[in-house]
Chains A and B, each alone.
Chain A
């Protein structure tokens, strides 16, 4: 019940495309859903996060869509650029201060 399932495992898009990465969770007690970007050999960096009281959140070119009833959330990257090529992880936690549960990761490649 603590798992977060992420798909796809890898994704290739052309520059300007809109890659979409999906995550699903089981534990209805989760109430914080962040997305992280990780470049090779680096630690993850927080991109954007959402709480279940909203269905969508935008920050720059990144958008989270959240469907509480389906227990799913997704990351959309608008106008993707080659510099967005990285591994993206979704995560969830169930209370303030508690541990994060990570998805399996999606390796995104944006071709020029």
Chain B
């Protein structure tokens, strides 16, 4: 149980275009989802916290107009990178919390590798 999926697993896009990444909780309802970015050989950096039905809370330094997060249902959150640039190339990982299983644990998705050319 507590499976989180991401789609796509990898994507290549041209500079200036937008790309959407989906995060789904497959067997539980996630009231809270988190989006992280990870550069090579670095730790996970929290970008934003997403609560179902409300606006996401962005970490300091993360441009909310560039990284649009929509948590429209209890099983789906999306991250849209708008007007992507090569410096946005990174590994994007989502996680979700199952409040019925644990109020602490976060279950991570497999990640999405974004390459902007």
Contact = CB atoms under 8 A, between A and B. Distances in A.
A42 B4 CA distance: 12
Interface in A39-59: 41-46, 49
B43 A102 contact: yes
A93 B104 CA distance: 8
Interface string B75-117: 0000000000000000101010101000111111111010000
A43 B95 CA distance: 9
Interface of A: 32, 34, 36, 41-46, 49, 89, 93, 96-97, 99-100, 102-105, 107
B105 A34 contact: yes
B43 A105 contact: yes
B44 to A, nearest CB: 5
A99 B104 contact: no
B111 A43 contact: yes
**B: interface residue count bin:** 20 to 34
Given A32-B104, A44-B93, A93-B104, A99 B34 contact: yes
B68 interface: no
Contacts of A36: 108
A104 B104 contact: no
Contacts of A105: 41-43
Given A41-B113, A44-B93, A100 B46 contact: yes
A41 B49 contact: no
Contacts of B107: 46
B25 interface: no
Given A34-B105, A49-B104, A49-B105, A102 B32 contact: no
